[in-house]
Structure 1
Amino acid sequence: MSNMAIWDANSSIPQEYTKRAKLNGQEITTYSLQAAILMATRQFGPIGKGWGYEVVEEKNDDGDVIIQAETIIGKDGQKIDQREIRSVLHTLIIRCWYVLDGERYEMPVQAGHTPKVMRTKYGPKFDEEYYKKSLADAIKKSLSMLGFGAEIYLGLLDDQHYLAMKAEEDAIKFESEKAGRIEALKDKVSGYCEAYKYNTLPQSIKAQFTGHMGEVNRECRALNINPDPYIKKMESAANARREELTAKR
């Protein structure tokens, strides 16, 4: 394996997995934790087996004061002690690992950060998803050391010239692969039709067909082709098998 093999295989994030977000008032391109997990699983295998992470440390750091501690008088004249409320930054430090050619490798620790309690114009705000966000930040930072999402971290997805060039390359690649994918879809549909012949439960055939129909619809959307001919073929085969089983009763 070349030194850049993992990097080159994962530096490009499919556009449908990216999104625009604001960070410290600036527009940036980012991608979800699920996309990172998908790419790592494709590269190394299922999480927990081919790759994973261990939490090294978790901490909460107090920041600036949002509400000062004070004693206020309630409507009934009773004194109420208002405790001090500060902003809180949650930090999760993890160490990622992965298996390559049967050998386990550990990566340097990385930290993910999320404002857990923050100041807003309406007062203090508590983010209930702080742990998930810190974990996502830490995992993506760790995988970025291997080149995952390098296009984003290098700022290439904010370069309009690069985006136009990449879109053209993707279109050429899609067209070159389309014919082969359509042939593979035809074979898959034929296999589904054949599978109905071995199913002995009419209700199970209906569920089986529904699942197959979802898969065909997804693939046809990706290929930008009409799914009706493929679905009609499967529906005909499924109905024929159900009628055959009903007639035997």
Structure 2
Amino acid sequence: MEKENQPEAVSSVLKVFGIIEALAEQKEIGITELAQRLMMSKSTTYRFLQTMKTLGFVSQEGETEKYTLTLKLFEVGAKALEYADIIGLANHEMSYISRQTNETLHLGTLDGTEIIYLHKIDSGYNLRMYSRIGRRNPIYSTAIGKVLLSGLTNKEIRELLADLTFVKHTSKTLENIDQLIEEIEKVRKQHYAEDNEEQEPGLRCVAAPIYNRFGRIIAGLSISIPTIRFEEEKLPQLVNLLQVAGKNISEQIGYHDYPEILAP
């Protein structure tokens, strides 16, 4: 049954992109002209346009029958470019930290109620954190997740995580949203976050934020160290490395008001 629907689904996708390309070439266009250009019936063209209008990709010009593209496609494309730029910039900074520490580095961002890893540099040690680019982890039990949440208000955090079940990955995992918000308050003040064996037993993580040009936290940069190698007295040095890297990346994408950096 699924295979039988595939040609129809592909055809629909082609029609949608045909409409997008036609609207991109001409500022505004009516249904009749658009249907003729794409060799589609007016009813089919109208149906697609109404769906695209509902999703915010197309707008109707006043009371006319003409349609035009909105800036939503630009917005989507800009987000993709933003993350592509960040990965390249972050790789340079992460490589430097890797040479200084020989530990695992991650770049991650928010996707729903999870973090997703965009980039990674492995530790040079045999004992290391298992992860991969594209892997997801809970937002409430990771250092990157806490950094990302610190850019939201407490109300936004509660709304985002309203339907989330807190799973106890270890004995140290936070158990509810109240505990999490209390932790986030600390993150906002100190401008870095920690995961103290909350996601995996025997693993410590520290993270600092990356801002876009509008001052919004869009990613987190973290270092992961097994507890047997973690030295508490070196925490300020690790935080400094991450914050300097976060500042450098943020400045290169247009943000120049990075909060005060912790001295090593």
TM-score normalised by length of structure 2: 0.20
Task: Choose between structure 1 and 2: higher strand proportion.
Answer: 1
Larger radius of gyration: 1
TM-score normalised by length of structure 1: 0.21
